Amino acid sequence: MNEPIVEARNVSKTLGTGAAKVKALKHIDLSLEGGKLTVLMGPSGSGKTTLLSVLGCMLAPSEGTVRICGSSTDGASRERLAKIRRDHIGFVFQSFHLFPTLTAAENIRLALDVRGERGARARTRAREVLTRVGLPHKIKAFPRDLSGGEQQRVAIGRAIVAEPSVILADEPTAALDGENGQAVMGILSAIAKEQNRAVLVVTHDTRLIGFADRILRIEDGALQPEEPNRSNVYQIRSSA
């Protein structure tokens, strides 16, 4: 069995203060292993994005511990958390969050640049990743010249270029049509399997369940008992 890349133990998170105080996560226990695409589903306000933020070291848990590739985030400073994100995590956001003044290749290269990886090697790597996400002809295109689907592929390229151990994707298909959504999920699924990454996708979209190796449901901040993914079970049975 693979060692977990992301581990959350008894994680709770309280947001707000005073009367506005809300317990967004309640005693979450979760492990993510390499080679699997996990889908996290739940209604609006159930705590999906909060959980993703805590696992992504952007929010500190109020209780419990989070370990990324063996490193605990307990008491870590903002800079230390940034280093953990830089070294181990790739993010894909709902609104892409590409830099409008940078080209597609530069947007991807940015993830290497912040790690101090520059020069010809970084440029070559960015080109390879653009090819990997199916946009080899868009190297010099700016985000304004790309469709939503293309922008999200560039965002995925930025998330994977530095070869992080875990990819966290927040509603990556929400701003896309069905065809582009399927394509993006296809890429994420392939990344999980081919490169042995842990991929966690937060989504509302039940059409994407077919890509999941594992489905997690969250309601009122608590993870529900896990069910096997029927479509995946079907795939496994078929291949057997």
Partner 1 sequence: MSLVFTLASRNLFQDRLRFVATLIGIVFSVVLVMVQMGLYFGFGRMVTTMIDHAPADLWIVAKGAKSFEDLSLLDMQTRDKVLTINGVAGVTPVVIGFADWRLPEGSMTPVFVVGSDLKDDGLKPWHLVAGSLQALTPPGAVAVDRTYFDRLGVSGVGSTAEIRGHQVKVAAVTDGIRSFTTTPYVFTNLDYAGAYIGLPANKVSHFLVRLKPGADLDHVRQEIQSAVSGVQVLTPDQFKQKSRNYWLFGTGAGMALFAGALLGVIVGTVIVAQTLYSSTKDHLYEFATLRAIGCSNRYIYTVIILQALLNAVIGFLLAAIIGFAVVEFTARSALPIVISNDLMFGLFGLTVVMCIASALVAITRVVRTDPVMVMSR
Contact 36, 6 (CB under 8 A): no
Nearest distance from residue 132's CB to partner 1, in Å? 18
Q: Is 58 in the site for partner 1 (CB under 8 A)?
A: yes
Q: Is 220 in the site for partner 1 (CB under 8 A)?
A: no
Nearer of residues 39 and 229 to partner 1, judged by Cβ: 39
Q: Is 115 in the site for partner 1 (CB under 8 A)?
A: yes
Q: Is 137 in the site for partner 1 (CB under 8 A)?
A: no
Q: Is 67 in the site for partner 1 (CB under 8 A)?
A: no
Q: Is 204 in the site for partner 1 (CB under 8 A)?
A: no
Q: Is 83 in the site for partner 1 (CB under 8 A)?
A: yes
**Looking at 5, 6, 59, 156, which residue binds partner 1 (CB under 8 A)?**
59
**Looking at 11, 36, 37, 49, which residue binds partner 1 (CB under 8 A)?**
49
Q: Is 95 in the site for partner 1 (CB under 8 A)?
A: yes
Piece of the chain touching partner 1 by CB under 8 A; list 3-11, 39-47, 95-103, 192-200: 95-103
**Looking at 79, 179, 225, 237, which residue binds partner 1 (CB under 8 A)?**
79
Could you give the CA distance from residue 3 to residue 24 in angstroms, rounded to a whole number?
28
Q: Is 158 in the site for partner 1 (CB under 8 A)?
A: yes
**Is beta strand 89-92 parallel, antiparallel or unpaired with respect to 166-170?**
parallel
Q: What is the 3-state secondary structure (H, E, C) of the chain?
A: CCCEEEEEEEEEEEECCHHHCEEEEEEEEEEEECCEEEEEECCCCCCHHHHHHHHCCCCCCCEEEEEECCEECCCCCHHHHHHHHHHHEEEECCCCCCCCCCCHHHHHHHHHHCCCCCCHHHHHHHHHHHHHCCCHHHCCCCHHHCCHHHHHHHHHHHHHCCCCCEEEEECCCCCCCHHHHHHHHHHHHHHHHHCCCEEEEEECCHHHHHHCCEEEEEECCEECCCECCHHHHHHHHHHC
Q: Is 66 in the site for partner 1 (CB under 8 A)?
A: no
Q: Is 110 in the site for partner 1 (CB under 8 A)?
A: yes
Q: Is 113 in the site for partner 1 (CB under 8 A)?
A: yes
Contacting residues toward partner 1, per CB under 8 A? 49, 52-53, 56, 58-59, 78-79, 82-87, 89-91, 93-95, 97, 99-102, 106, 109-111, 113-115, 118, 158, 170
